[in-house]
Amino acid sequence: MAKRSTKSTPLPPLLHQLFSLLAAQRGVFSQERTFRRGLALFLAELLTFARHTVTQQLLTLGLTDADWSAWYRLFSRARFDVAQARHGLLQATLPCNEATTPYVVGIDGVVVPRSSRKFPGSSWLKALGTAPFKPGLRRAQRFLNLSWLAPVANGFSRAIPLGWWPAFPAKAVASLAPTCKDWEAGLAALGWLRDQLDQAGREQQVILALVDGGFEKAVAFWQGLPQRVVLLGRTARNRALFALPTYSGQGRPPFYGAAVRHPGEWLAEKTGWHTIPLTVRGHPRESTYRVEGPFVRDGLPEQPVFLIVVKGIDRRIRGRRVRRDPVFYLVSALQQAEAWVLPYPVEVLLTWAWQRWELEVQHREIKTGFGLGEKQCWHPTAAVVSVQWSVWVYGVLVLAGYQTWGLLDGPRRVERWWPGSQRWSLNTLWRAYRAAVWQIPDFQALWRGSGDNWVKKETWITGMWNAVLGAARG
């Protein structure tokens, strides 16, 4: 009998980076047995082609006759430490972000659809995909997404979630998570991030937070921002703005100066515009803008801001009509030598303003391609932790891909009719992971030919069933 070779086969670079990240995340589980169980469920997320329920993933692992209750207790008993998972992901991103550059994050609210009216944390929220003139309602849980944006390369970035905070409204079904508004959860997330960076020795590193109009309009959100946090948010075209107050020395100092134009009124100006070239997702773009200020906005006299007005586009480019509405941004002003200045050059701010769309890309990927919210966990704790688990798994997998390939150097799939994408996609990442796992000698995909006997093929059907669900060890 030939001896079995004991020489270890080196792992593919992608799996090596993934397992290194998982080894650094050991503190997510307090006990060794729960850590091993969590790793098995982690790999099942990669190999499950059906719905990402816990039972379906156990079928992928071949545990058809085992007791499943211990796996569900990973979420119902909170044996998955969410706080430690956030800390581990943040620490893994620090080597990719120099301390001399801003730590750019995006904040956005996201809903997880639910079908039950009794699901913990669920409430009636605006349904996605309905007409703006007649919006619909549906049951869903609401979370606050805090994601790190990787440094831009050729106009590309990628949003990697650091964590999702529950932001359940007051009328939601009772759960263990406290009710709060989106901007309150956003302040909690930014406060956590500021504390983590300070503990990591990056007290001087500034956080650049990108938000949409839902957060920008909340005055309390601006007032509660931690120190060394710069906010760049899209604002309304009719936002009330005022000049900086001047004090004559008599009476009480005023809070506001004279009222200035609304953001939309600056579009009528013929002069004072500047045009800069930008690279957005590998394509050249021209942005025509003007900067006005510093101003103070209604309800926020203590925080001066600058207004950035970006003209819209409605013209034909290379035979194709291109139309973009004008946009308006407010950005926090910094004080230097008794003068208020922009925190960063306009080109940098507008570049990052384009990249906030990566959060929407992440939401689409994690919902449609990764099975977020499909785990049937009804326990009040598991209803929240199971969602945060899926976000953590997604973040670790995407971060390992980024650390292995960067943003642009992933495997390319070129067709005769398609030259290939400049940036690797989520589907490309999943294919690379599965191909790398099936190349491991001790991990064999169960696939057998059908043979010539199409009548008596019960054994083959059983093997094919397991192969479709995932893979089995030899």
- Over residues 187-203, the pLDDT tens digits come to 999 999 999 999 999 99
Check pLDDT > 90 for residue 322. Answer: no
pLDDT bracket for residue 473 (50, 70, 90): very low
Please report how the helices 13-24 and 426-438 are oriented relative to each other, as an axis angle in degrees rounded to 10.
100
pLDDT bracket for residue 320 (50, 70, 90): confident
- pLDDT score, position 468: 53
- For the chain, helix (H) and strand (E) counts, in that order, are 13, 15
* pLDDT (tens digit per residue) in 110-140: 999 998 999 999 999 988 888 888 889 999 9
Q: Kindly list the domain boundaries of the chain, sorted by start residue.
A: 13-81+383-408+422-469
> How is the chain split among helix, strand and coil, in percent rounded to 5?
35, 25, 40
Nearest CA to 302 out of 368, 231, 219 is that of 219
Q: Give CA–CA dist 59/62, Å, rounded.
A: 5
Check pLDDT > 70 for residue 454. Answer: no
With tokens 């409605």, the residue in question is 314
- pLDDT score, position 466: 57
- Phi and psi at residue 120, to the nearest 5°: -55, 130
- Amino acid identity of residue 63, one-letter, is L
pLDDT bracket for residue 243 (50, 70, 90): very high
- pLDDT score, position 253: 79
184-191 contact pairs (CB < 8 A, 24+)? 185/143, 185/144, 186/107, 186/144, 186/146, 186/211, 186/215, 186/221, 187/221, 187/224, 187/225, 188/144, 189/107, 189/144, 189/146, 189/163, 189/165, 190/105, 190/107, 190/146, 190/225, 190/226, 190/229, 191/226
Which of 295-309, 393-407, 422-436 is the least confident region? 422-436
Nearest CA to 184 out of 107, 105, 87, 111 is that of 107
Most confidently predicted of 47-51, 249-253, 445-449: 47-51
- pLDDT score, position 205: 96
Segment 417-444 mean pLDDT: 79
Joined together, the tokens standing for residue 108 give 């956005």
Segment 438-463 mean pLDDT: 54
Q: Give CA–CA dist 449/447, Å, rounded.
A: 7
Please say whether the beta carbons of 64 and 81 come within 8 A: no
- pLDDT score, position 464: 56
pLDDT bracket for residue 440 (50, 70, 90): low
Check pLDDT > 90 for residue 289. Answer: yes
The pTM of the full predicted model, rounded to 2 decimals, is 0.88
Segment 330-347 mean pLDDT: 93
Joined together, the tokens standing for residue 136 give 């619909």
- pLDDT score, position 425: 87
* pLDDT (tens digit per residue) in 47-85: 888 888 888 888 888 887 778 888 889 998 888 999 999
- pLDDT score, position 166: 96
In degrees, to the nearest 5, what angle opens at C-alpha 219 toward C-alphas 304 and 297? 35
Most confidently predicted of 285-289, 320-324, 369-373: 285-289
